[in-house]
Structure 1
Amino acid sequence: MRELLTRHGLKPTKSLGQNFLIDGNILRAIAEAGGAQAGVSVLEVGPGLGVLTREIATRGAHVTALEKDERLRPALDETLEGLDVTVVWGDALEYDYAALPPGTRVIANLPYYITGPLLARFMRAPSIVSATVLVQKEVGQRLTSGPGEDNYGFLSALAALYGSVRHVRDVPKGAFLPAPDVTSSVLRLDFDRSRPGPAPELLRFIEAALHHRRKTLRNNLRMIGHAGEAIDEALADLGLRPDVRAEDVPLDALRGLAGRLGVVL
């Protein structure tokens, strides 16, 4: 990796979240956990120098890799020569994920600074069935937390609305070049495409309800314009205390509140 960077006159760019994964065992573990195998369509975001891309492609997967930093073009040309990889140059936040082939699996070392927006896009894209991603450990804890747990919040609820999440493994700082300031985690999110996606109104309601998750749910709902009397009645109908904190409310109860308050039908 160092030789490749030197040969092409490259240095990792901090503003683009470039921390290149260099541990071969972890590369193989991510590809395996993500389901990279012959005939599978895989999307990778931020291939960097292409080492994870190469691991995925050599297993027979058809890889589309989104890369913003065109300085990496000669390095990727070298690393990925002869493999079934299409590199799309551009911003991953502007890519049309709806155009992906059905059954696509995301396998990626995500740029930390856009992890949340990217995960939301993966969840909403009907062709993506899973996302096996390397993220900051803190983000991983939020994704895998349930109501009442310390790290529970909107991202946790969003993942649960679309499917399920499991922790694959933690990754030490020394597995990257350069080493980041934080420990990372590999997570696999599986999206249940057999059920309709949540309505935008429901998503906005849950996001607002959990925005100040340690405050009472009643106060949070008052802040977005719901009448106190209507909230009290809805909470009572669902068997929730008037002073229940937002982070302690199960997702089904939040759905029930949204219905009783007329947010969704």
Structure 2
Amino acid sequence: MNKDIATPVRTQEILKKYGFSFKKSLGQNFIIDPNILRNIVAQAQLTSESGAIEVGPGIGALTEHLARAAKKVVAFEIDQRLLPVLADTLSAYDNVTIEHGDVLEADVATVIKREMPGIEDIMVVANLPYYVTTPILLKLLHADLPIRGYVVMMQKEVADRITAQPGTKAYGSLSIAIQYYVTAEVAMIVPKTVFMPQPNVESAVIRLIKHDVPPVKVIDESFFFAVARMSFAQRRKTILNNLQSGLPNGKAKKDQILTALEAAGIDPKRRGETLSIQEFGQLADYLHPYFV
């Protein structure tokens, strides 16, 4: 088996060989501990018939572990300077395709069709660039791709928000937007010392597994997400005040908002952070006829 990329010595060698310097704007922090990578891959429960999608492979440290575990790996890399590096570090693996470009712009569904025909079990496994973690996850979840789940590293604070439950400080519209599609749990906390360069923030790996059906059935998904967002616009305000501010012509339609809250069995004086995803679903459905 090839020598792991993810050791301090090997990482330094590769960076030196290619004269590579980290770009802060791309949130580049490479993992230099093979044990962490093995744990991440284990969380994804891949088989020799699985496909893995990675975002931001860097110099290929996680990619090679995925290539050993899965049938096919597709990695999206935005930084052109890393393409020759990856061609070199992953040359031993013929089951890896590097897609050069921004995953936020990419047509991921088409890439999956082209690169993973016949593969029925697909996981996203990645050390996500911290500055675009949320947009990447939401894009992939909204796109309704044939993906079983996600095992992704991110800033611990974002992981806490994604996995938060009602009534906690971290719970917000992001928790709802993601938990609508998946079950979410923090799989492990990752120390700063396993990165080069070391980030200023704590990191965590979260495991997201797609629901067979969403935990709540709603008439209009985008309106449901919008209602959740408005309800947290000012966390200290009541649900009634936030909805009056956020809904079109909300102040003039206070009576309709109160009617919808009553129908959903929600006290207008409650704050958004106390509502479960099911309550938000019911509320959005009762508000829908008045505002859409």
Q: Which category describes the TM-score, using the shorter chain as reference length?
A: over 0.9
Residue aligning to 2:41: 31
Deviates more, 1:30-39 or 1:17-26: 30-39
Residue of structure 1 aligned with 2:178, choices 150, 156, 159? 159
Deviates more, 1:206-215 or 1:28-37: 206-215
How many angstroms does 1:193 deviate by? 4.4
Q: 1:103 to 1:96 in 2, by over 3 A?
A: farther
Deviates more, 1:132-141 or 1:199-208: 199-208
Residue aligning to 1:215: 237
* Distance in 2 of aligned mates of 1:76 and 1:193: 36
Residue aligning to 2:59: 49
Residue aligning to 2:82: 72
Residue aligning to 1:6: 16
* Distance in 2 of aligned mates of 1:53 and 1:203: 34
> Gaps spanning 5+ residues in structure 2: where?
1-10, 114-119
TM-score, normalised to structure 1, is: 0.94
Deviations 1:222-250 (A, max 9, x none): 11233211222222233322211111111
Residue 242 in structure 1 maps to residue 253 in structure 2: no
Residue aligning to 1:97: 108
Counterpart amino acid of residue 135 in structure 1: M
Listed as ranges, the matches of 1:161-200 within 5 Å are 161-194=180-213, 199-200=221-222
Residue 58 in structure 1 maps to residue 68 in structure 2: yes
| Contact preservation (8 Å) 2:49, 2:121 | no
* Distance in 1 of aligned mates of 2:243 and 2:44: 38
Counterpart amino acid of residue 97 in structure 1: V
Deviations 1:141-160 (A, max 9, x none): 00110111110011100121
| Contact preservation (8 Å) 1:214, 1:247 | no
* Distance in 2 of aligned mates of 1:177 and 1:37: 29
* Distance in 2 of aligned mates of 1:213 and 1:241: 16
Residue aligning to 1:129: 148
Q: What percentage of residue pairs aligned between the two structures are identical?
A: 37
Residue 17 in structure 1 maps to residue 27 in structure 2: yes
How many angstroms does 1:91 deviate by? 0.8
Residue 119 in structure 1 maps to residue 137 in structure 2: yes
What secondary structure does 1:169 align onto? strand
| Contact preservation (8 Å) 1:17, 1:111 | yes
How many angstroms does 1:194 deviate by? 4.4
Deviates more, 1:99-108 or 1:78-87: 99-108
How many angstroms does 1:203 deviate by? 1.9
Q: CA RMSD in A?
A: 1.8
TM-score, normalised to structure 2, is: 0.86
The list of structure 1 runs, each at least 4 consecutive aligned residues, that deviate by more than 4 angstroms after superposition, is 193-198
Residue 231 in structure 1 maps to residue 257 in structure 2: yes
| Contact preservation (8 Å) 1:154, 1:211 | no
Counterpart amino acid of residue 106 in structure 1: V
* Distance in 2 of aligned mates of 1:88 and 1:259: 40
Residue aligning to 2:5: none
How many angstroms does 1:218 deviate by? 0.7
Deviates more, 1:229-238 or 1:131-140: 229-238
Deviates more, 1:173-182 or 1:75-84: 75-84
* Distance in 1 of aligned mates of 2:187 and 2:136: 19
How many angstroms does 1:8 deviate by? 0.7
Deviates more, 1:8-17 or 1:240-249: 240-249
Deviates more, 1:32-41 or 1:66-75: 32-41
* Distance in 2 of aligned mates of 1:61 and 1:22: 24
* Distance in 2 of aligned mates of 1:242 and 1:158: 22
Q: How many residues align?
A: 265
